[in-house]
Amino acid sequence: MRTLSSFIACVLMTALVGCGGTENDNPTKAQELRSDKTRVVKPTVATQDFADQVKGNRAFAFDLYQQVRTRPGNLFYSPHSISEALAMVYAGARNNTETQMAKTMHYVLPQAQLHPAMNKLDLELNSRGGGAKAADGKAFRLNVVNAIWGQQGYHFLPSYLDVLGLNYGAGLRLLNFIDEPEDSRQEINEWVQKSTEDRIKDLLPSGSVTPLTRLVLTNAVYFNAAWADQFDKQGTQMAPFHLLDGSTTQVPLMTKLMPASYTEGQDYTAAALPYDGKELSMLVIVPSEGKFDAVEQSLSQATVDHIVQGLQNSEVIVDLPRFEFESSLRLGEVLQAMGMTDAFGQADFSGITGTQELAISDVLHKAFIKVNEAGTEAAAATAVIMAGAAPVEHPHLSADRPFIFLIRDHATGAILFVGRVVQP
């Protein structure tokens, strides 16, 4: 089986390329071929099954962090987007490919229970923010959307399309990868850009879609929320930020005494800063001086659960730099190093086409984060391309040195975004 070698940073992308696709002379503009199954809006999922899978998703979030944390500079990604994009691929995985993917991604439920659980999680996340405000003064937004893009004339099993239609709201959009790979790439990128309010552009870089491409699965997450207690712009001043090498740089540091949840550990201070509506928060973990590497190495689901359990409501003086950056990850080699090897080589995705012609060629992820006095804007996209072949009176969280942060949904415990700021 032929496997494309390039792994490009941007959004998690899996492309399936088959060896025997039928050429089609139809125009490139996607035609949507949905199954006759509409998305289940009230999935039946056992409470324990749901909790187990959300816990599995969190475990993957921190497994991935340990794999990519050695990369220099700031870091930001959406583990939820990655888990969801690969879950759509997983629906067609069989035999050893399925086993490896389940272990790597912490898909702890059988397929028949996993996909309804993922659907329930998305529906809950998409319901957040009723009446709350966004950082741009508009209404709160937390949107999770999926789409799949297939080669015109190529055979995809109706049973596979049904799983994606029922649980991910994703219809099959037909493109002509064979004759018009560049136009197809641009059309997918336009969908991603629109779905993330123009924050994620060029998810699929030039050359990532080829005449061998047969299927591209995409997920996009967009988040825009105001702080429950906004920072005052007049309180923002240029102040030193202490870098890992011992030097300092001047950054705009926001400061406010606000209601928040706070805890201290032996090597860190942490606070959960709520967003308007108080359904989600940003958990900021600031390692003590000289302890960043130790705290980062210990970051895991258990560590974060311990921090969250220790949080106590308080009035907290918060120093937080204003920052904005974009982060890209090449995930193909990372996922293989985590144990998901067959999916990229001798793959069995016969649940997609009925044959073993498809393998993952690229997994791309791209994410954007903007934090200011008003709140937070964050976006991420993932694509899978398949081819064949302390103060005296108040606790004080001072993020004036490198820190780690997570954006969490309170009710489910889902980790939407994970990041690190080493230089704002």
Question: Tens digit of pLDDT for each residue in 257-305?
Answer: 999 999 999 999 999 999 999 999 999 999 999 999 999 999 999 999 9
**Structure pTM?**
0.87
- The H-or-E segment that residue 285 falls in is strand 280-287
Instruction: Evaluate if residue 129 carries a pLDDT over 90.
Output: yes
Structure confidence at residue 424 as a pLDDT band (50, 70, 90): confident
What tens digit of pLDDT does each residue of 54-66 get? 999 999 999 999 9
56 to 29, 80, 151, 214: CA distances (angstroms):
38, 11, 33, 30
Looking at the DSSP bridge assignments, the partners of residue 204 are none
Classify residue 196 by its DSSP letter: T
Tell me the per-residue pLDDT of 148-193, one tens digit each, with 9 for 90 and over.
999 999 999 999 999 999 999 999 999 999 999 999 999 999 999 9
Q: State both tokens at 46.
A: 């056992």
pLDDT of residue 34: 54
The mean pLDDT of 245-263, rounded to a whole number, is: 96
pLDDT of residue 343: 97
Q: Is the pLDDT of residue 241 over 70?
A: yes
Q: How confident is the model at residue 403 (pLDDT cuts 50, 70, 90)?
A: confident
Q: How do residues 34-54 score in pLDDT, each as one tens digit?
A: 556 799 999 999 999 999 999
Q: Measure the CA–CA gap between 19 and 2, rounded to whole angstroms.
A: 8
Report the pLDDT averaged over residues 185-208. Answer: 97
| Helix (H/G/I), strand (E/B), else coil: 253 | strand
- Reply yes or no on whether the pLDDT at 207 is more than 90: yes
Asked whether residue 5 carries a pLDDT value surpassing 60, the answer given is no
User: How far apart, in whole angstroms, are the C-alpha atoms of residue 315 and residue 339?
Assistant: 45
Type of residue at 247:
S
- Average pLDDT (316-329) is 96
- SS3 for 419? strand
The C-alpha R_g of the chain, in whole angstroms, comes to 22
Supply the CATH classification number for the domain 14-226+325-387: 3.30.497.10
More confident of the two residues 410 and 36: 410
Mean pLDDT of the chain: 91
Distance CA 150, CA 35 (A): 13
- Is a pLDDT exceeding 80 seen at residue 20? no
pLDDT of residue 6 exceeding 50: no
Residue 321 pairs with which residues in a beta bridge? 253
**Mean pLDDT over residues 206-215, rounded?**
95
Q: How far apart are CA 31 and CA 308, in angstroms?
A: 46
Q: Helix or strand or coil: residue 26?
A: coil
* CA torsion, ordered 131, 132, 138, 142, to nearest 10 deg: -100
- The yes-or-no verdict on residue 16 having pLDDT over 70 is no
pLDDT at site 33: 58
Please list the residues that pair with 320 across neighbouring strands: 254
Q: How high is the pLDDT of residue 32? A: 64
Query: What confidence category does residue 7 fall into, taking pLDDT thresholds of 50, 70 and 90?
Result: very low
Q: Does 128 or 422 have the greater pLDDT score?
A: 128
Higher-pLDDT residue of 410 and 393 is 410
Q: What is the pLDDT of residue 36?
A: 62
User: Can you give the pLDDT at residue 50?
Assistant: 98
* Domain boundaries, given as residue ranges, for the chain: 14-226+325-387, 233-321+392-421
Q: Report the alpha-carbon angle 41-88-45, nearest 5.
A: 40
How would DSSP label each residue in 145-188? Answer: EEEEEEETT----HHHHHHHHHHH--PEEEE-TTT-HHHHHHHH
Secondary-structure class of domain 233-321+392-421 per CATH: mainly beta
